[in-house]
Chains A and B, each alone.
Chain A
Amino acid sequence: MGLRALAVRGFRNLKEQELTLPETTVAILGANGAGKTSLLEAVAVVGNLASFRPGSPLSWVQHGAAGFHLAAIVTRRELDLRLLVVGRAGRRLHRQLFRGGRRLTAAEYLSLFPVAAFSPADRMLIWGGPEERRRFLDRLSFYLRPETYLVLQSYRQALRQRNAALRRGAPDPELEAFEQQLAVLGSRLLELRLAAIALLEHALGDELAALAWPLSQPILRYNDTDAVSPGSPAEMAGRLRLALARSRRKERARAHTLVGPHRHDLELVLAGAPAREVISAGQGKLLATALKLAAMAVLGRIRHYMPLVVFDDVDAELDGRALACVLHRLAGHGQVLVSSAHEAMIAPSLRDAVVWRIRDGLVSG
């Protein structure tokens, strides 16, 4: 799987341009604000319909533009796929997705060209809130089992409905109707997440070793405060239903559902303590990178995905040795796009890379 060509219009600070990409590593170099991150972000949006940079998708639209076009030619199993993402600015971003001339739903589109996106924001996997780790886990679950997308969407809809029922003071039987849905969908979501964690933990050791991780291997612990797991889907659904029923009184006061997978967390535990409490900034970046590499390895092994890698600001927070390990690990991967503002730092480890320089939003070879 690889990105052969990318055409950009109206996206962030990038000038309108068409790019042809090599199949190897590309080092994108430029000063701060030159457009390095925007270019990698465009690739991530074409692949994942999501950016690695926090913020609203509306911010993808260039200042003063009505919308953006991202067109890509992707090679997949010797076939050329023509993908197009059109964004139109309104109160929110209106998105249209096409493969060839055919319009696709997000669920249909998302598995066509997965992009493994690494960036300084990955630190949020360690120091951010549970929602960051849930998002990471659910994305991995989706690529392992595409059913995750619809399960998650339905779960969120059932959650919105139950919260609305709580707000309007609905009697118990009405709440129970949506609790049944939450229990069935939530237990399926738990099953998908737990399966993903087992695979992730298995692959994490190899990735930490490749990055010369100096500490012991963190334990990945699924923290369901409502103690729904482990168990069979029917057992977990039963426990979740019970937890929802027990929590009803408290939830009526807050008009919000307080138990279920939308409140769970993937904890990283090191020597009995949360990893975020015992590691340095550089180690945090290394651990987050290892987690993402492990997810990539799992997908490679299970689904035979070889996603394109984008790595924004690759040298941020890493010392020379750690940076060399990361770049060495990515060297054999296939198509990799890394960005940096410090050419001297990454040059020794990227001798074979194609260099693109970017200035004022325009790439030059």
Chain B
Amino acid sequence: MIDLRPAAVQVLLEELEQLPGVGPRTAVRLAQHLLRQPAGARRLAAALVRAADGVRPCAVCFLPAEEETCSVCRASGRNRGLLCVVEDPINAWSIEATGEFDGLYHVLLGTLDPLHGVGPEQLTVAALVDRVRAEPVQEVILATNPTVEGEATAHFVAGVLKGSGVRVSRIAFGLPAGGEISFADQVTLSRSLMGRQRME
């Protein structure tokens, strides 16, 4: 049997399959799409090279940045007394998109995950402690995900910051706006009931 795929296509497929959520079939579909649109493929390649060469973690908060520090850390008018701690940049992007948060971020670059060999030393916890000491931070909001690992990480970070003099708070959890109670899972519902608020 002859492999009809040219070597360049085989390499492309192998690289695509390395991406999360992309299996062999999806890789073939993506490759087909790219090969049919050479101009689009070149634009994608250029974007990839630019991102790979030009983006690095912000030296202060670890958000992706094209300069030494990110746009949030450089911005004037942000509340520098408020620090939101997230697992990954994507969580910070979501929070920023709400328009409700005007403080600064700190990206942990993961969670405690001993099963996969991730301890505090693989995260940016030490840098967070340094920031809290060096910057005029008054409150740290722990916005890690409500998973076992996210909760444990929040607890760990809260412990590390104990005695630093800053207020440490945990992001609230409850029903999604616009959602229906009947579609919510039991844990979310239970948390919503426990975290109920008085109607003013």
Contact = CB atoms under 8 A, between A and B. Distances in A.
A102 B155 CA distance: 38
A158 B148 contact: yes
B38 interface: no
Interface in B88-118: 112-115, 117
B187 A173 contact: no
Interface in A179-200: 180-181
A160 B149 CA distance: 11
A178 interface: yes
Given A177-B112, A181-B151, A147 B190 contact: yes
A161 B113 contact: yes
A150 B119 contact: no
B115 A164 contact: yes
A178 B153 CA distance: 8
22 contacts: A145-B186, A146-B186, A147-B187, A149-B186, A150-B187, A154-B148, A160-B115, A161-B112, A161-B114, A161-B115, A161-B148, A168-B114, A168-B117, A168-B119, A174-B114, A174-B119, A174-B156, A176-B155, A177-B112, A178-B112, A180-B155, A181-B155
B148 A173 contact: no
Contacts of A154: 148, 187
User: A interface, by DSSP: helix, strand, loop or mixed?
Assistant: helix
A338 B190 CA distance: 39
A170 B148 CA distance: 17
A157 B112 CA distance: 13
Given A107-B185, A158-B152, A170-B119, 8 more contacts: A147-B187, A161-B113, A161-B115, A168-B119, A178-B152, A180-B152, A180-B155, A181-B148
A172 B159 CA distance: 11
Given A150-B185, A154-B148, A165-B114, A176 B159 contact: yes
Contacts of A177: 112, 152-153, 155-156, 159
B160 A173 contact: yes
Interface of A: 107, 145-147, 149-151, 154, 157-158, 160-162, 164-165, 167-168, 170, 173-174, 176-178, 180-181
Interface of B: 112-115, 117, 119-120, 148-149, 151-153, 155-156, 159-160, 185-187, 190
Contacts of B190: 147
Contacts of B160: 173
Most buried by A among B120, B151, B190: B151
Q: Which 7 A-B pairs have the closest CB atoms?
A: A164-B114, A147-B186, A177-B156, A165-B114, A177-B152, A164-B115, A157-B148
Contacts of B115: 160-161, 164
Nearest to A158: B148
Contacts of A167: 114
B128 to A, nearest CB: 14
A109 to B, nearest CB: 14
Contacts of B113: 161
Contact of B159 (A107, A160, A173, A178): A173
A146 B156 CA distance: 30
Contacts of B148: 154, 157-158, 161, 178, 181
Contacts of A178: 112, 114, 148, 152
A179 to B, nearest CB: 9
B152 A161 contact: yes
Contacts of A146: 186
Given A170-B119, A173-B160, A174-B120, A151 B112 contact: no
Nearest to B146: A154
B126 to A, nearest CB: 13
A177 B158 CA distance: 10
A267 to B, nearest CB: 29
Contacts of A150: 185-187
Most buried by B among A145, A162, A180: A180
A145 B185 CA distance: 12
B156 A181 contact: no
